[in-house]
Amino acid sequence: MAVKEDKMEESKIESEDSEEPRIGVFVCHCGHNIAGTVDVAKVADYARTLPNVIKAEHYMFMCSKPGVQMVKDSIRELGVNRTVVASCSKNQHGLTFAKAIAEEGINKHRHQQVNVREYCSWVHKKDETKATAKALRLVEAGVNRARKLQDVETRRISTTKAALVIGGGIAGLRSANDLAELGIPVFLVEKNSTIGGHMTQLNKTFPTLECPQCSISPLTNGVANHPLIELYTNAQIKSVEGSLGNFEVEIEINPRYVKDNCTSCGECSLHCPVEVPSEWDKGMSMRNAIYKAYPQAIPATFVRDKKACIECNTCINICPVQAIDFSMQPETKTVKVGSIIVAVGYSEYDPTEIEPYHYGQEGYDDVITQLKLERMLSPTSLTNSEVLRPSDGKLPKSIVMIQCVGSRNDQVGNQYCTGVCCKFAIKNARIVKEMYPDTDVTICYIDIRTPGLNFEELYKSAQEVGVRFIRGRPSEIIKDPISGKLKVIVEDTLSMTPLQLRADLVVLSAAMVPPEGIGPLGSKLKVLRSKEGFLKEFHIKMNPTLSSKGGIFLAGAIQGPKDISETVAHAGSAAALAAAPLVKGYIEREMLVPTIDYDLCVNCGICKTICSPAAIDIDENGRPTVNKIACRSCGMCMPSCPMKAIQLINFTDDQLYDEIIAVSGGGAVCE
């Protein structure tokens, strides 16, 4: 197929070469906008003298109906096959003329727009001679460029009506649900045994102190039971092939070792002799080797942790429905999808690398992170929603929260502000203070950042209940050698006083960092990452949901730290963008793509390394090939080629040379 296409292209180029270029030049007065500064008659006269120019005219308003008709007539009567219109910018009326020549049966890419208004007459109003001289150069450049313009075909690519969502957190669930509601079959891949992500671990959500489990459960249930959503838990992406509209993805599904007929009665877990810390509970409770992450977990089927299991077979014998089967094997499934949404979320920053805070070190059990505090406060916790010191199980008399742990910190390499730590620290501080009015709750901050509706009110309400705020980043957490009490050393930078805060419990507001395993996933998807490690969006303002590669979209915290409301909005936007080509059924692409001259190509592969949308692949013969659908026509590959073998159609070195010669005035300096 590919060979056939290449042959077709070659024959087309040959036929174009044999055809004599007949160029029509039209100079617009634009009322007095151009004609007031530039001598349009002179420009038209000069254009007439240029080689291959059949007709050169000037007219009052080229974009008006008679003006466009002039262009059309020249094609019909004089056989003009390339048009140059010297008027306004390409964005304004380039398309008007391109459409007009297309109506006459000439490829619209054979139109060359020369901007003599914004780039010439409007900016050089004071000097008419110079403006006219510049206009002559610009028009000559346009004619030179038009001479070698080639046809660019528009190809319609049909899309596979299915989508893949990677990650079953709030972002993944939201986008999977939105896609399925549009009638698109969705494959939802989750790494863990349950869906719901970080949101299910939280105690309350800011600013309204709502129960996150109640907010997310309609979504988890809805997704799990949706007829169009196929859910794969304990699964990961093995490989991704293809491009925009047609991807082929291999999914590796690890077995649960429990069949779907499990009634989730919990007998197996009750009799399991193995106990390991629960990952879902952030190590604040224990789970068995056969377990369900939490009582409300979806899917409700139990799962066996093969690494922890000692294979005593107690559960197999005790299961009333014989659902447990240790012989299950991992399986690989290949799915064909049109769009991919990456919603793998974030990880909580591990503060162990910040030495002075002693997190995770022996004797410093009372230094915990905010997620652990959330787990303690949660209604399903081992402590019965009480805040207790992990070291001795007593009620803390003073709690110190430290902000910006791992964010806004050059030493650990994270310059960004996570943006949500202030909000959740204030929320937790207020909840704790309301539960235990006698406990001192202090927040050490650099800046309190609570933008947005209702967040400043949350901050005020925390101040009102008596949460103490100290401006200063703590330098160290020390342990009193005699009493064994923790002390936080901080300078209150507002009153310039060094302080030693007694702390029974220290809570670190750890940053949101890219999730573990994003590196291998990113390289499988061939998308670019930002320097912080998150996946990079296409454009920070205009398209924050598209990734560097067409057809792959980002949802939620994988693009950058976000709170739940932002994540839901972001995920909805990703779903809408991902659905558009699938609902329509096709994508129309102009084949403004580079072609590779294999006679010159030396298979060095530099073009592949520079291509940001990863549109250049190396085929089995070691030759680079251009994926015409993934290509974004930026032309970055062109200068990277040491052999000038790769050339972007209509922007080739040859064509640019012709334009440069005219613009820079001809006269060669060195021969």
Distance CA 404, CA 446 (A): 8
Q: Residue 608: what residue type? A: K
What angle do helix axes 653-664 and 128-147 make, rounded to 10 degrees? Answer: 160
Shortest spacing between CB 98 and other proteins, in angstroms: 15
Shortest spacing between CB 648 and other proteins, in angstroms: 7
Q: What is residue 356's DSSP assignment?
A: G
List of residues contacting other proteins (CB under 8 A): 89-91, 115, 117-120, 122-127, 130-131, 133-134, 137-138, 141, 528, 536, 538-541, 548, 610, 612-613, 632-636, 638-640, 644, 648, 651, 653, 656-657, 659-661, 663-670
Shortest spacing between CB 628 and other proteins, in angstroms: 16
Q: In Å, how far from its chain's centre is CA 163?
A: 16
Hunting for tokens 């029974």 — which residue is that? Answer: 504
Q: Residue 310: what residue type? A: I
Cα separation values, 269 from 194, 290, 307, Å: 16, 5, 16
The smaller minimum CB distance to other proteins, of residues 540 and 602, is found at 540
Distance CA 608, CA 599 (A): 18
CB atoms within 10 A of CB 50: 18
Stretch (H or E) spanning 219? helix 212-225
Shortest spacing between CB 184 and other proteins, in angstroms: 28
Hunting for tokens 């047609």 — which residue is that? Answer: 246
Shortest spacing between CB 543 and other proteins, in angstroms: 9
Shortest spacing between CB 147 and other proteins, in angstroms: 16
Shortest spacing between CB 636 and other proteins, in angstroms: 4
Helix (H, G, I), strand (E, B) or coil at 297: coil
Contact 612, 634 (CB under 8 A): yes
Shortest spacing between CB 149 and other proteins, in angstroms: 13
Shortest spacing between CB 415 and other proteins, in angstroms: 13
Distance CA 320, CA 74 (A): 86
Shortest spacing between CB 481 and other proteins, in angstroms: 49
Contact 112, 83 (CB under 8 A): yes
CB atoms within 10 A of CB 670: 3
The smaller minimum CB distance to other proteins, of residues 95 and 448, is found at 95
Distance CA 665, CA 671 (A): 15
Exposed/middle/buried for residue 551 (C-beta within 10 Å: 0-12, 13-18, 19+): buried
Hunting for tokens 């059924």 — which residue is that? Answer: 585
Shortest spacing between CB 96 and other proteins, in angstroms: 16
How many distinct helices (H) and strands (E) make up the chain?
17, 32
The smaller minimum CB distance to other proteins, of residues 92 and 264, is found at 92
Shortest spacing between CB 634 and other proteins, in angstroms: 4
The smaller minimum CB distance to other proteins, of residues 110 and 430, is found at 110
The smaller minimum CB distance to other proteins, of residues 91 and 603, is found at 91
The smaller minimum CB distance to other proteins, of residues 117 and 408, is found at 117
Distance CA 464, CA 7 (A): 77
CB atoms within 10 A of CB 6: 14
Distance CA 287, CA 276 (A): 5
The smaller minimum CB distance to other proteins, of residues 127 and 311, is found at 127
The smaller minimum CB distance to other proteins, of residues 307 and 541, is found at 541
The smaller minimum CB distance to other proteins, of residues 506 and 558, is found at 558
The smaller minimum CB distance to other proteins, of residues 436 and 651, is found at 651
The smaller minimum CB distance to other proteins, of residues 201 and 545, is found at 545
Buried b (16+ CB within 10 A) or exposed e, 84-109: bbbbbebeebbebbbebbeeeebbbb
CB atoms within 10 A of CB 475: 13
The smaller minimum CB distance to other proteins, of residues 121 and 370, is found at 121
Q: Residue 431: what residue type? A: I
CB atoms within 10 A of CB 385: 13
